[in-house]
A and B are shown apart, each in its own frame.
Chain A
Amino acid sequence: MVAFIITLPVNLQAQLVTGCIVILLIVFLKMFAPEGVPRMVALALGVAMVSRYVYWRTTSTLPPMEELANFIPAMLLYCAEMYSVALMALSLFVVSSPQPPRTAPVIAPGREPTVDIFVPSYNEDAGLLATTLAAASAIDYPRDRFTVWLLDDGGTDQKCEQHDLAAAREAQMRRETLTELCRELGVNYLTRPRNEHAKAGNLNHGLAHSSGELIVVFDADHAPARPFLRETIGYFNEDPRLFLVQTPHFFINPDPVERSLDTWRRMPSENEMFYGVIQRGLDRWGGAFFCGSAAVLRREALKETDGFAHSSITEDCETALTLHARGWHSVYVDTPLIAGLQPETFASFIGQRSRWAQGMYQILRFHFPLFRSGLTVAQRICYMSSILFWFFPISRAIFLVSPFFYLFFSLEIFNGSGAEFVAYTAVYLLINLFIQSYLYGKYRWPWFSELYEYIQTVYLLPALLSVMINPKKPTFKVTSKGETIDENRISEIGIPFFVIFVIQIAAVFVTFWRIATEPYAADITIVVGMWNLLNLIISGCALGVVSEKAAKRHSQRMAITRRCSLLIDGVEVPAIIDDVSMGGVRVRTELPSEATARVGMHAVVRITPPDDCISDTLPVLVRNVARDDGVVVLGTQFNAKTAAHYQLIADLIFANADEWKKFQAGRRKNPGVLRGTVMFVMMAGFQTLRGLAYVTQLERLTRRFAPGLFAGAHGR
């Protein structure tokens, strides 16, 4: 019956009216009854109209095969569209009813399984590692039931004995420093002879040298909150076939896009769509997969597969796929329990995404989940959905260049009249927007998916094509984190975006020229011109993304409220810690008259230490001083000297994950399609100007004469 209705060849008028009614109904449902059956109804309506579009698009818009010059680009565009629709269908299945929040099962005292916490590292500096290891050691769990391991791949025998003497010396130094750090923190340092199989090999080496029932993996920059194990271990006692409990990756610094666009505090991060909706959806179908860090795994399960898989460069997803296929279960806990760092620069961001895209393609190639025996049908669909997503660079590139085919070369790649375009394509596009907003509205604002996909496409497309040609070639490259950007600049890989932008501007001129000189074809030209304009807006926004601002702060501040005492200028006074970041704390206090606070002074913050910490004092440097009605607010920088200091820092930052949750919840607001679109267009306009100012060096001038104009005042 549904198929009958969908394929019914009613006339354009009926299609248009029905489309409008459906859109209104979806909007209505979204506003007044966003959950349960009404949500299903809205999704079904959207699916019905999209299906009608697909049917129409397939049966009546393709140019005949005889016109090869039209046919080939037309088929490319058609395939790109169908890919988008197929991916939307898969996503709809995945997120049809996401897993509701779980309550962690209580672990009976004395029945706590033994846990090995692995912190694999390759080149991260000691300070970063110290924080993570300190936080890991401070986890709320019987101390005799868990062991923390630093798995160092930067100090392997191979590295220490390499022929480059300087590098070899550096590796030896690293091994010494870290061994000392680990000793102080009570953490096991482990390295290995050779750097085989990258991260997976490192973890497997750790597996071979440890014996805990459960394995926890934290990336070097992923510091856990104290309740991490309490929130995750219980599930393993409940389900003996459980191999994985994954938790979300919560980041305490903005990614390059968020930093450039200055959206970090008000808009959900990019990965929240994945961890907020999609992983829950996957979990609902028993397909939540391992994301490389912030997860607990069962050694027994890993033994079956000889440890972590390493045929692809995304070992995490591959491992999960293999174990799912062997009948093991997984659980996803939607509570941020670790805080990590995102790549700081656009280039490292792209490097990270290239690895994901290539790795996912390798999994597709080596495991093809759709036909993988052992998986349930739902799991197969889930994995296909996650993997196929990474083909977006191809479709996005086609959407990007398709308008040029018509505007520059007059190819007719879409056989349809203006009326048909309105009745079918416009309705389809609108419904697409509304359905996306319906599904992910809280987690992803309108048009930001397009922006993120576009900025990745330029570099992921070659990466993807290269792995498609040579699937064995890519090797694991560690994403660098904790970098800093010292001055405003265009990203070293930002130039192509400006080139594309210029071509699109040219296309805009061609649009007007063609409307003026070919008024008889104005309707099609306008439609294609609008399409190009949309691409241009996104592309303009991307200019802002690659125009990187100098980063003042290592990480963003988290608001906390914690009593402490402050030793400064020879006095000790009670104080309140207002917020904390990876770099320092802000302390509010009232100073007696004999004491003053000045920038550059050394001070000490004394807090109640965690159980096993040998120190309760944390040295800091005063970085700025603000007075307000006798109250002094000091901005301070950590001046950690010993492992104990790192334990205190970790305690300050990671003691309580509730703050993170509150912070995330504060950003999760659905602006709606209309407001979201307006906001995006305004932001894109500003970012375009900022990008152009950077590239023309105008920015340096304005910085001198009108400071703050491009400093990101927008939206504050």
Chain B
Amino acid sequence: MKNGPGDATGAPFTMTAPGPAGGSDATSAPGAAAPGYVAPFQMLPGQPVTTAPAKAEVAGPMVPDRFIVPGPRLRLEGESVSRSWMTYFTQQEVERPVTLLIGYVNAIYVMPELSRLRVTINGQFVTEIAITSPQGPTQVKAAIPAGVLRAGGNLIRLDMQAVHRTDCSIESTYDLWLELDNALTGVAFAGGPAAPPAMVDDLPAVGVDVRGSTHIRFIHAGAIEPNYSAQVLLAAQALALRGRFSHPVVSIVGPDPGPTPPGTLNVVLGSPEDLRNAMAFPPPMATNQPLVRFVNDSRAGGTALVIGGETARTVDAAIDRLASGSGLANDDKVMISSRFAPDAHFFTGAGSVRFSELGVTTQEFSGRRLRLGFPIALPADFYGAANGQARILLDAAYAPSVRPGSQLSVYVNGSLASAYMLTERHGGLMERKVIKVPLTHFRAGINRVWIEVMLEVDADKICGPGATLVRQQRFVVFDSSEFVMDDFARIGTSPNLAAFVGRGFPYFHSAQPVAVVMRHDVPTVAAAATVMARLALAHEGTTLVDTAPSPASLSSRPVLFIGDINHIPPDVLRQVGVVDASKIRWLADPANDRTGQGTTPTWDSAIASTPNPAAMLDQAVRVRSGSGNEAIYDRWRDEVVSESYVSAELLHFQEWVSRTFGISLGLPGAGGGEEPFTPPQNTSVLMAQGFALNSNAVWTLIAGHTAESLDAAVNEFTLPEYWVKVYGQAAAFDDATGQMEIRMATDRRFVVTQPLTPSNLRLIAANWLSLNIVTYALVLILCCIAFAIVTSLLLRRRAGGRG
């Protein structure tokens, strides 16, 4: 690993140098309240002003003992935004007095007098601060009252209410943001850092580093044998699951790796010999007894988790014991809460879930643009995008001041899925108002659904002096609203990268161990382990790995090829639909070009952060079809045609038709065709899926320019923010810009995953025929012809009988 876990140079804001740890302990003593920060305004009316013990105070910045921000960047954007996640603590940690540190910077437009950031932990109020730091990061400290934190998972929730200084327009709400400074945000324990977790159950308390990642550091001496890499790949999965890590990054280092940075777990894995090579004092091992235990070892970076066994089988048993204790048995949830709480609701068919369970609370809103988001998880064999439908049964109301024509939009994975107009002139009360959401943009795995309400109010048009100070409630949405999923077809399809990244399909659904074909060098194995850990989290389970599959078996089982492109056999490239390795032009040395952190998206902005709502379509993702000429053609057509009024109207109509029905009237040959995929030259990770020659075995390729660049880029690529955007047949990821290029699948094959009951068959047929419209029309016509012939015969026979 080149990028050490403690390396904070990539953090976005480091203007305020962190002071020495513990140096400001005294400032957290109660009573030293800073005058400006005793919440002059309340966020919610009718609530008593909370005073000590939650007084926020400023002093020299402290370095947190543990970072808590779950991601490279956390940015709250808009007028009323909230974000919550789970952070885990050990018993020792919660027994100590704890100070919450919030380092943040905000937009200059945010009016400090009225804008607030409130922090609650486990539903209990911790602090509320005025948002006053447009110049650079400011750190705010607040003692967490005793008893608020508990051993295990703690729900940390940020609520921001922001008001624009001058502007009342909807556009201006995009200027309101607050971003946490990861390096200054976290918790500090009285008396310095607590001891690292020493029990397997405390694994989640390993926490995150300054970029929100958790590093699993395998300490290993000597060359990597296929057997060892198989164990690493399996152990990475088990640890990611057991630790509920939101972004596990695996590295393999030699003994004596130095001190353990925050958010890092040292692991020593393998046979007694492996342990002996890597440790000063390897723990004794009983025959046939799997060993899973934390030990303190000077050569293993201090505290390290030892997973061992006398034989390979015992090591597997040890890993298995680790995985089996993860307790992820909740069938209707997919675990994402360490990144974004609550866990995503998992729909395997028709069902409904209330907003309250989705983490959306009842909200009265007085601003202009309200966004509510929640994740929805779908199974790997989800096959309903073409015809399926979900509904939002909305309980909400809007005030008479809201102008009719204000719009409520539903976005799915960054694309506009549904729009509803508020049309009543004198305010409206919506009771279980049905808003249909087509499943067009839903994919297997985690989907992000956003409801955005844009409220147009006459007062905002005038926007007189002090207009932004007036806080009149305009809109309310109740948590009794529901998200209802209609039944959808379930059958696996391949190639389908969305199902692969979202649920590990088909690898984790196969009874056989996953065949992984790679070179057994450190960066490749680390990259493979990072991917496997991510897949295990997506699937919420582990799968055995076969790192030395026999070549003959490759055409009969799902295979994962990982490595630098030059070591991928040309046959594999051909089968997964990628051009020959020699034709791919990589940047000179991508590893040195990595400046990823600067453009790393936040969870929220990954979906959209542009002021233009029409441009909400995921800008970071470009979908490429066959020729790639459509965009240019459209632009030319628009320019050429807009000359004449009539043709402009025609164009308008044609656009409406194609927008509404997805029917394109022009430019033939938009289908992808069979030509192989050429990744753009700044690709750092290439992912592609295909089939083995003459068989239905799915092959997936994950490749980079070199093994080292692949390892580095995979660490970025597996960030949930990027990972969930992968779909189609092939994806090329550029870690410098975060851009993703997607190639859609043309030749999809079905894999039966569910019993083909009549109702499932019906839905499958509906979805398939929605994609193959002409076939549908033909089937309908043929049925009618058959029906007509039968009827004619019957009529004739009857007539004959009568005559």
Residues of A within 8 A of B (CB): 1-2, 4-5, 7-14, 16-18, 21-22, 25, 36-37, 40-41, 43-45, 47-48, 60, 64, 66-67, 96-97, 284, 286, 410, 415, 418-419, 422-423, 518-521
Contact = CB atoms under 8 A, between A and B. Distances in A.
B766 interface: yes
Interface string B409-448: 0000000000001011000000110101010000000000
B777 A22 contact: yes
B776 interface: yes
A8 B765 contact: yes
Contacts of A45: 780-781, 784
A521 B423 contact: yes
Given A14-B776, A96-B795, A520-B423, 11 more contacts: A11-B386, A13-B770, A14-B769, A14-B773, A17-B663, A22-B780, A37-B788, A45-B780, A66-B432, A284-B799, A520-B407
Contact of A10 (B387, B421, B791, B799): B387
Contacts of A7: 762
Interface in B764-803: 765-766, 769-770, 773-774, 776-777, 779-781, 783-785, 787-789, 791-792, 795, 799, 802
A17 B774 contact: yes
Contacts of B762: 4, 7-8
Contacts of B434: 64, 415
B781 A22 contact: yes
B contact face: mostly helix, strand, loop, or mixed: helix
17 contacts: A8-B776, A10-B386, A10-B769, A10-B770, A36-B792, A40-B787, A40-B788, A40-B792, A44-B787, A44-B791, A45-B780, A45-B781, A96-B795, A97-B792, A410-B423, A410-B424, A520-B404
A43 B389 CA distance: 31
Contact of B773 (A4, A17, A22, A410): A17
Given A44-B784, A44-B787, A96-B791, A518 B774 contact: no
A222 B289 CA distance: 110
A422 B404 CA distance: 24
Contacts of B785: 41, 44
Interface size class of B (residues with CB under 8 A): 35 or more
The 10 closest A-B pairs by CB, nearest first: A520-B405, A40-B788, A44-B784, A11-B770, A41-B788, A419-B660, A11-B387, A18-B777, A13-B661, A14-B773
A10 B489 CA distance: 12
Contacts of A44: 784-785, 787-788, 791
B284 interface: no
A432 to B, nearest CB: 16
Residue among A1, A7, A8, A64 with most chain B CB within 10 A: A8
Interface in B177-204: none
Interface string B499-536: 00000000000000000000000000000000000000
Contacts of B421: 520-521
Given A18-B773, A97-B795, A48 B387 contact: no
Interface in B101-137: none
B327 interface: no
A299 B83 CA distance: 91
Contact of A40 (B424, B763, B765, B789): B789
B662 interface: yes
A12 B659 CA distance: 12
Contacts of A43: 788
B661 A37 contact: no
A423 to B, nearest CB: 7
Contacts of A418: 660
Contacts, number: 119
Contacts of B802: 286
B404 to A, nearest CB: 6
Nearest to B796: A97
A2 B407 CA distance: 40
A137 B253 CA distance: 121
Q: Which of B387, B438, B662, B779 has the most CB of A within 10 A?
A: B387
Nearest to A64: B432
Contacts of A521: 404-405, 421, 423
Given A13-B663, A44-B788, A18 B799 contact: no
A423 B663 CA distance: 12
Nearest to A96: B795
Contacts of B783: 1-2, 5, 48
Contact of A2 (B387, B423, B787, B792): B787
B784 A48 contact: yes
A21 B777 contact: yes
A67 B785 CA distance: 43
Contacts of A41: 784-785, 788
Interface in B373-395: 386-387, 389
A40 to B, nearest CB: 3
Contacts of A97: 792, 795, 799
Chain A interface mostly helix, strand, loop or mixed? helix
Contacts of B770: 10-11, 13-14
Contacts of B784: 2, 41, 44-45, 47-48
Contacts of B763: 9
A148 to B, nearest CB: 35
Nearest to A66: B431
B773 A419 contact: no
Contacts of B765: 4, 8
A26 to B, nearest CB: 10
Nearest to A25: B781
B776 A18 contact: yes
Contacts of A284: 799
A14 B386 CA distance: 10
B758 to A, nearest CB: 9
B661 A12 contact: yes
A116 B373 CA distance: 86
A63 B705 CA distance: 57
A114 to B, nearest CB: 29
A66 B394 CA distance: 13
Contact of B662 (A10, A13, A286): A13
Nearest to A43: B788
B663 A8 contact: no
Interface in B627-668: 660-663
A631 to B, nearest CB: 53
A64 B433 CA distance: 8
Interface centre among A7, A41, A48, A286 (most CB of B within 10 A): A41
A284 B780 CA distance: 29
Given A44-B791, A415-B434, A518-B405, A8 B766 contact: yes
A439 to B, nearest CB: 14
Contacts of B788: 37, 40-41, 43-44
A410 B789 CA distance: 47
Contact of A12 (B404, B405, B660, B766): B660
A481 to B, nearest CB: 38
Nearest to B438: A11
A36 B789 CA distance: 9
Contacts of B662: 13
A40 B769 contact: no
Nearest to A285: B798
Contacts of A410: 423-424
Nearest to B456: A520
A130 B783 CA distance: 59
A364 B119 CA distance: 73
Contacts of A520: 404-405, 407, 421, 423
B776 A10 contact: yes
Contacts of B795: 96-97
A89 B170 CA distance: 53
Contact of B766 (A10, A22, A286, A422): A10
